[in-house]
Chains A and B, each alone.
Chain A
Amino acid sequence: MKWRTLVAAGAAMFAAGPALAESVVPQPWQMGLQRAVTPVMERITEFHDLLLVIITLICLVVFALIGYVVVRFREDRNPVPSRRTHNTALEVIWTAIPVLILVIISIPSFKLLYYMDTIPETEFRIKAIGHQWYWSYVYPDHGNFTFDAIMKHDDELEPGEPRLLATDNYVVIPVNTKIKLQVTADDVLHSWTVPAFGVKIDAIPGRLNEVWIEARETGTFYGQCSELCGYGHGFMPIAVKVVNREEFDAWVKQAQEEFARADQAPVRMAAN
């Protein structure tokens, strides 16, 4: 891929800062996308690299033309203006070239879109429900346990946990496993996103939206509610821990004991 080498120089500037193995959080002065940990995000990043080159070149061409015109055709350097108002060839060219560029963009764009939108065979489901102002999660294929994930306040943060991003309970998923996330809301609109996964999907009352996630590395990954939902919109983060299979199984066992079942009345749980 030739354009990838083209951006190599610029990539250093636009890269997502120092890559941490353990988690992906935004870095100070970060200028580019967060580091990709799913195949979807890898493709988004690749596509964005292409787009960035194209739009930068377009801007440079336009700015160069304007710069030239501004210098060359100042009134004192060119006191007698030309009267030319037509040039059919030129007009055809500046219509045709943008069309060509758009075709070049649209091919990888459609490939990406259909790749991410086609949900493959997944191992299990997780359901995320947006509330004002926290997320709750259900693991229907692991005994239907459910828990809330509420943002940790500053005084509850443990060392290394980022402010406004950490939650009291983490969503836990196994690494290298395709899972299906079903998202809905029970009051107003919310939007579930984890930038490093390349996932953003609105949580809408009465609808069940689906996306798929296949995290390729372990660590903790964060996102923030991305649809204005009122007072606490900035304070209902999404925090996902990607762990290996053994840790996941152990966590599921513990979660089944610790958390209530989504299909049982709380009263019965209390009686247990």
Chain B
Amino acid sequence: MAHSEAHAHEHHAPSGLRRWLFSTNHKDIGTLYLVLSFVFALVGLAMSIAFRLELMEPGTQFIQDHHWFNVLVTAHGLIMVFFFVMPALIGGFGNWFVPLMIGAPDMAFPRMNNMSFWLTAAGGLMLVLTLFLGGAGTGWTIYPPLSSALGHPSPAVDFAIFSLHLAGAGSILGAINFIVTIFNMRAPGMTLHKMPLFVWSILVTAFLLLLALPVLAGAITMLLFDRNFGTHFFNAAGGGDPVLFQHLFWFFGHPEVYIMILPAFGIISHVVSTFSRKPIFGYLGMAYAMVAIGFIGFIVWAHHMYTVGMNVDVKAYFTAATMVIAVPTGIKIFSWIATMWGGAIRFTTPMLFAIGMIILFTIGGVTGVVLANAGMDVSLHDTYYVVAHFHYTLSMGALFGIFAGFYYWIGKMTGKPYPENLGKLHFWLTFIGVNLTFFPMHFSGLAGMPRRIPDYPDAFAGWNFISSLGALMAGVATLVFLVVLWKTFTAKERVPANPWGEGATTLEWTVPSPAPFHTFERQPRIA
């Protein structure tokens, strides 16, 4: 009897290597993604603190070789985009909660899910290898000819390309998995227009991944051929065009920024609704705003290229198209506020991160409107103003979304409560730290400080010093977060199935905490 029970248990929930290496369970794969992204987040953060320390004062502090400054900046960007934000939001929370929220027992293709994760992990390994092969100091945009054999003869860039190939393939497979799952495995009664907004956000994101990543894969393959097999796609001397790469890269790169922010939008919607104890305001508007953002996201790419010497009418078009994105984004911001309006708001840690995200994303949004103007952008392109802008949308938008999701769902994932006071301390330290880091960058950017320089004219010293202090503070906040993790995982208490009360209405709160290995073996019915 005991034997057969143990056997049955093993059959349903494998352990050890079999559980983690060969996992086909959406929750385990989600956990793997979260662990991967956590490790890379720490690496990426350490890199940013390293170059903020280098930039703390004018002159060279400790990064003697400027190439390695460029390598740090490049690796920070690639890691944060491909191996922190994407795996955390899509692979991590997406895998964990899309099936739970739609009442599905798992993802549509569990084995492919496993493959997605390990391709991503292998991509991360490739990226780490570049650091031992001379380092890629090309910027995350890997523009040729700097990324060609001319600018980077070492194999580091080849490995960076392989890294993006692998992570990209993993993401494409993941995207297909999400699309198929969401379209086919929703619980009976859950029409598309009843689907939770996080699922909507992942659905839109999956389409963006599916359409954007192959273009990146093509571009970097052409670059790989240029580097190794004598083609001249991007080599002007052979009739190629370096600007072609920029068009291809940003045709991927701009949807990519929405790939990073849309799932955070989805999380914020649930957190705001839960802790206001109100259904989301303007649900359909919220869902179709994301669809609109996703669609427009594909037709604005050249606003990253206003200084390459494009035709003026083209620049005018991209200016207009880019500004249009502000409209659906505004709808989201106002709808979140309207959701809170009239609510009974509880300021738990996830809610603090959500409100913080709305505030800071607004700032990142309006500077985006400034940058959208091709004429204005001439003064700001490739300055710290741009760095400030995209960190307000990503380092505050996406990151705060990730933290909101973490605090919101960690009880569901582990069955253990997070320490509320430490969580709030973590929020306030992060909030002040990132603002201290990135707000002064608007000023240094307006004053003309270029991005990606290892030393700067002395006049920029003041704001850079403040930025570096902020980065250190964000580092301290991360230490607090490590304590939060420790306290959570060692907690003796257990959380109930739904710790948040009547505001939490989605299906994941109907299963026990921690969510059992198998859930929804019988599909729920949605009224």
Contact = CB atoms under 8 A, between A and B. Distances in A.
Interface of A: 16, 25-34, 41, 43-44, 47-48, 51, 55, 58-59, 62-63, 65-66, 69-70, 73-75, 78-87, 90-91, 94-95, 98-99, 102, 105-106, 109-110, 112-118, 162-165, 187-189, 191, 193, 195, 198-202, 204-207, 209-210, 222-235
B373 A226 contact: no
30 contacts: A26-B459, A29-B462, A51-B369, A55-B366, A65-B337, A66-B359, A75-B344, A82-B342, A85-B280, A91-B331, A95-B327, A95-B330, A102-B369, A106-B320, A109-B374, A118-B312, A162-B457, A163-B458, A188-B144, A191-B381, A195-B379, A195-B448, A200-B381, A206-B242, A210-B309, A224-B450, A224-B453, A228-B138, A229-B151, A230-B146
Interface string B237-250: 10001110000000
B309 A207 contact: yes
Contacts of A95: 327, 330-331
Contacts of B417: none
A113 B312 contact: yes
Nearest to B342: A82
Given A79-B344, A226-B450, A94 B379 contact: no
Contacts of A162: 457-459
A34 B373 contact: no
Interface of B: 58, 65-67, 70, 137-139, 143-146, 148, 150-151, 236-237, 241-243, 276-283, 285, 307-309, 312, 315-316, 319-320, 323-324, 326-327, 330-331, 333-335, 337-338, 340-347, 355, 358-359, 362-363, 366-367, 369-370, 373-376, 378-379, 381-383, 443, 446-463
A69 B457 contact: no
Contact of A113 (B67, B151, B373, B446): B373
Contacts of A210: 309
Contacts of B452: 228, 233-234
B146 A47 contact: no
A33 B379 contact: yes
Contacts of A94: 330-331, 334
Contacts of A187: 145, 150-151
Contact of B376 (A47, A63, A222, A228): A47
A25 B309 contact: no
Nearest to A109: B373
B315 A113 contact: yes
A223 B457 CA distance: 10
Residue from A25, A230, A235 with most neighbouring chain B CB atoms (10 Å): A230
Contacts of A59: 362-363, 366
Contacts of A79: 344
B312 A117 contact: yes
B276 A73 contact: yes
B247 to A, nearest CB: 13
Contacts of B137: 228, 230-231
A74 B312 CA distance: 51
Nearest to A210: B309
Contacts of A33: 379, 446-448
A228 B312 contact: no
B326 A98 contact: yes
Given A48-B379, A81-B344, A85-B281, A32 B369 contact: no
B319 A69 contact: no
Contacts of A202: 307-309
Residue from A65, A79, A226 with most neighbouring chain B CB atoms (10 Å): A226
A98 B138 CA distance: 37
B359 A63 contact: yes
Contacts of A44: 375-376, 378-379
A98 B241 CA distance: 38
Residue from B343, B443, B461 with most neighbouring chain A CB atoms (10 Å): B343
B341 A69 contact: yes
A205 B309 CA distance: 12
B94 to A, nearest CB: 26
Given A187-B145, A205-B237, A113 B323 contact: no
B278 A209 contact: no
A31 B12 CA distance: 61
A16 B26 CA distance: 55
B327 A102 contact: yes
B66 A231 contact: yes
Nearest to B445: A33
Given A32-B447, A232-B66, A102 B323 contact: yes
Given A59-B366, A62-B362, A225-B450, A91 B285 contact: yes
Residue from B307, B355, B448 with most neighbouring chain A CB atoms (10 Å): B448
B307 A200 contact: yes
B370 A51 contact: yes
Contacts of A81: 276-278, 342-344
B90 to A, nearest CB: 28
